[in-house]
Structure 1
């Protein structure tokens, strides 16, 4: 799994989420990329991104996140950047930052993150962002990059939805989601987030709680999946009713992404 990961200095969790066996073949490699934000990218990082030849970037962050940490771009960058205006998690905060409010321990952090995932598939601006994402994958050629702030929660949900719609085995769906916990320089990413979270909420938050907030857990994705299935019966029905990804759009995704 770690062969999927591109290690950069200032871009965390950058990796290929293609290549998995799917319902009618295998997802293409080298065209589906995911990551965290690029606001701290170094010149070498940007040169590495440029080598991929991105044609589309889908930014799942909210307006406040884009304003406070604009992404740096490679020289001659000409990819189309897509995003929905507004706050994709219902506030100006990333999910892990939102979940840090009022908690101190790892157990409290996990409970807060799990609660957050129950409603994540239905947050209005994120729904519009996800619709842009699936439309782009179904209609645009070339490599794409999907990202949010940390590249783990909103991005993780979006990637899991695509995988499931294309028939990727559930073991691989979860393995790709959990790869966040070992991708890249975890210590640097967690330390930076810890400083930010404690500055916002106070020093009572333990180190273990910070690690929990900055990681992912199978229970989080299970919570989102249960919420989807309880309301709509299946991911396919959710995608059609909420994201406008009908059978024709799923076929377009299959044609472009599966070999």
Structure 2
């Protein structure tokens, strides 16, 4: 799994989420990239990104997040950047930041994150962003980059939805999601967010609570899919009814991504 991770100086959690088996072939590598935001990308990072020839960027952040940390691009970047205007997290915060309200312990942090995941598949602006994501995968050539702020919650859900819709085995779906916890330098990634989280919510938050907010757990993703199953009976029905991803669109995506 670590072979799919690319290490950057100012970009966290950057990795290829292709390469998994599906019932009709294997997801191609080098086409599906995911990460955190690129606001702190270095010149070396941007040079490495240029080599990936990314033609489509799907930004799942909200307007306020984009304003605070505009993503940097290399000089030759001529790709399309897609996002839905508005706040994808509901209250101008990334999910892990939103979950931090009133939190002091790791158990409280995990509970808050679990509750957020139950609602995340139905947040209106995020739904619009996910619709743009799947439309791009079905219609645009070349490599794509999917990202939010930390590249773990909104991005993790989106990548897992794609994997599930293309028939990637459940174990691989979960392994890709959990790779956030070991990809790159997780300690540096967590430390980079700790100060801002404590500044927002107070110094009483424990180190363990910070780690819980900045990590992912299997129960988080299971909660999101349980909410989908309860309301729609499965991922395919959810995708068709909420995201406009019907059988024809799934086939179009598979034709571009599965070899």
Q: TM-score, normalised by structure 2?
A: 1.00
**Structure 1 residue 44: deviation in Å?**
0.4
Residue of structure 2 in register with 1:157 after alignment: 157
Residue of structure 1 in register with 2:56 after alignment: 56
Residue of structure 2 in register with 1:257 after alignment: 257
Summarize the alignment of residues 59-98 of structure 1 with structure 2, pairs less than 5 Å apart.
59-98=59-98
Long gaps (5+) in structure 1 = none
Residue of structure 2 in register with 1:216 after alignment: 216
Deviations 1:85-128 (A, max 9, x none): 00001111000000001000000000000000000000000000
**Structure 1 residue 187: deviation in Å?**
1.4
1:14 has 2:14 as partner:
yes
Residue of structure 2 in register with 1:41 after alignment: 41
Residue of structure 2 in register with 1:141 after alignment: 141
Q: TM-score, normalised by structure 1?
A: 1.00
Residue of structure 1 in register with 2:205 after alignment: 205
Q: Give the root-mean-square deviation of aligned CA atoms.
A: 0.4
Long gaps (5+) in structure 2 = none
Instruction: Supply the distance in 1 between the matched residues of 2:167 and 2:189 (Cα, whole angstroms).
Output: 32
Deviations 1:2-42 (A, max 9, x none): 00000001000000000000121000000000000000000
Instruction: Supply the distance in 1 between the matched residues of 2:75 and 2:185 (Cα, whole angstroms).
Output: 25
Instruction: Supply the distance in 2 between the matched residues of 1:240 and 1:198 (Cα, whole angstroms).
Output: 40
Alignment coverage as a number of residue pairs: 259
Residue of structure 2 in register with 1:24 after alignment: 24
Equivalent position SS for 2:54: coil
**Structure 1 residue 75: deviation in Å?**
1.3
Instruction: Supply the distance in 1 between the matched residues of 2:188 and 2:247 (Cα, whole angstroms).
Output: 42
Instruction: Supply the distance in 1 between the matched residues of 2:185 and 2:46 (Cα, whole angstroms).
Output: 17
Summarize the alignment of residues 209-248 of structure 1 with structure 2, pairs less than 5 Å apart.
209-248=209-248
